[in-house]
Every structure is written in structure tokens, then in C-alpha cells.
Amino acid sequence: MHRGEIWLINLDPTIGAEIKKTRPAVIVNDDAVGILPLKVIVPITDWKDRYAVAPWMVQLEPDAENGLGKPSAADAFQVRSVAQERFVQQLGTLGVTAMREITAALAVVLSIEP
């Protein structure tokens, strides 16, 4: 499991407005960081046109490399650490451009300079 990989991840159980169910997510932590069996992920959801104005939503188009089946969005506002036991199956990998966009979206959410 490495930065930039997209995996199906079981996010249940959840509480309140947390993103739910088994869904794709991209690993965003640096591979060299952390000693616990956890990964920092950004969940992926279906793309909706209203997300275009949200700087924390990164549009992802499906392709053979990323393994997504439909236009999607990486929701950087839902970033979280999850146990590796939640990982179900690898779907693909995001390219450098998409990862830069997600990193910039995380910078917006966390109020840091990218």
C-alpha cells in the first residue's frame, strides 16, 4: 500500500456526516511516515457539478490507470487515518497531476501552504 494508490476501503461504521460504506479512496500519506499499520486516505465519491466550486473536491476522470468506473471526486475534507484491515482491494493508481491537486486541496482544508 503506497501513496497514490486507489483502494476500495470499508469505512463503516461511521457517525453523523462521515462518508460511509465501502468505497474507493486514495492513500495520501508519505510512504516513509508512520510506524502503526495505518494509512491516511482521502475518500472518493461520485462527481456532482456542484463540487466544481468546492476547493477541497478534486475531480477525477476514470481511466485504465486509476481503475475508477465513473467521473469521481476526491473529498479532501473527509481525510482520515484508517487501519490497513479496512483495505479490501486495490483498484489503480493516480498520476502525478491528480496527486498534486489532492495535495493542494488538503492544504486548503488544513490552512497550510502547499
Write the pLDDT tens digit of every residue in 39-81: 999 999 999 999 999 999 999 999 999 999 999 999 999 999 9
The pLDDT score that the predictor gives to residue 34 is 84
CATH of residue 76's domain is 2.30.30.110
* % of residues, the chain, pLDDT over 90: 93
Cα gap 86→12, rounded to integer Å: 9
Give the range of the structural domain holding residue 29, as residue numbers without chain letter. Answer: 5-110
Q: Which pairing describes strands 72-75 and 38-46: parallel, antiparallel, or unpaired?
A: antiparallel
The pLDDT score that the predictor gives to residue 65 is 97
Contact 103/37 with Cβ under 8 angstroms? Answer: no
pLDDT in tens, 45-56: 999 999 999 999
Cα gap 78→101, rounded to integer Å: 15
Nearest to 66 by CA among 35, 97, 33: 97
Residue 83 has pLDDT above 70, yes or no: yes
Nearest to 20 by CA among 55, 51, 44: 44
DSSP-assigned letter for residue 91: E
What are the cell numbers at 53?
466550486
Residue 114 has pLDDT above 70, yes or no: no
